[in-house]
Structure 1
Amino acid sequence: MIPPDVNVNFDLGATLGLSDKAEPLRSVRQFQKGDLFMLTIIQALLVIIGVVRFFVIAHFIMSWLIRFEVLNVRQQFVGQVWYTLERVLDPIYGPVRRMMPNMGGIDLAPVIVLVGLEILRIFLINNIGAFV
């Protein structure tokens, strides 16, 4: 717990030395309705990006474990998880696979999707400052 007599600066720019003077964070009452709405949308998009990233990484790891016969798709649970991930990620992988040349059995679609998600996440985080 922070003692009441300690002045805490929550300005990240001032902490990193990026701004000349430290401004305290605006209270919730000073935000306009549009700003709060945009913050909510950006936060929801960041959550969705995090969930999709988790699914892509899980699918990527499972594909290697299945290929090296550590996991078997004939097991009921593994099969259900695998086919669910296939159905969820196929609409995302499909356009990426169509744009890429045939790599001879190497599927780079998950890597490209992860890079695209990371670029989108960075773009959203960098632009969230316009609404704070």
Structure 2
Amino acid sequence: MRAILDVVLLVLQLYTYVIIASAIFSWLYAFNIINSSNQLVYSIGQMLYNLTEPVLRPIRRVMPNLGGIDLSPIALLLLIFLIQNVIVRYVYPNVF
């Protein structure tokens, strides 16, 4: 059972990196630092969008509209950190 919890924690940590990479990529794209007509850049952006958008979309529906500021990745990261802490502090020590 601990091995399964370790895998869950690892997946959550990797998804945290994906969320951060997606946020940085969106900033680079918004400020025209990267060229979206490049096929590699487009593929990376599409992959990050496909990985994060299904989870961020419901959060965006619940959160208020703040204009051009999107706080849904921060809310998702806080939720992931909460789940990780619950697993480490309460679930993991009680598993034999």
Q: Which runs of 4+ in 1 moved over 2 A?
A: none
Match of 1:70 in 2: 33
**Aligned with 2:76 (options 113, 116, 120):** 113
**Aligned with 1:80 (options 37, 43, 62):** 43
- For residue 131 of structure 1, report the CA deviation from its aligned partner: 2.1
Match of 1:101 in 2: 64
Indicate the SS of the match to 1:44. Answer: helix
Q: Which has the higher contact order (CA 8 A, sep 6+)?
A: 2
Partner Cα separation in structure 2 for residue 73 and residue 52 of structure 1: 24
Cα-to-partner distance string for 1:64-88 (whole Å, 9 max, x where unaligned): 1111211122111111000111111
- Give the TM-score, by structure 1 length: 0.68
Question: Which protein has the bigger helix share?
Answer: 2
Written as runs of structure 1 = structure 2, the 5 A alignment for 1:44-59 is 44-59=7-22
Match of 2:95 in 1: 131
Indicate the SS of the match to 1:103. Answer: coil
Partner Cα separation in structure 1 for residue 36 and residue 9 of structure 2: 32
Gaps of 5+ in 2: none
Which residue type is aligned with residue 55 of structure 1? V
What RMSD in Å do the two structures reach over aligned CA positions? 1.1
Gaps of 5+ in 1: 1-37
- Give the TM-score, by structure 2 length: 0.92
Written as runs of structure 1 = structure 2, the 5 A alignment for 1:12-51 is 38-51=1-14
Aligned length: 95
Which residue type is aligned with residue 81 of structure 2? E
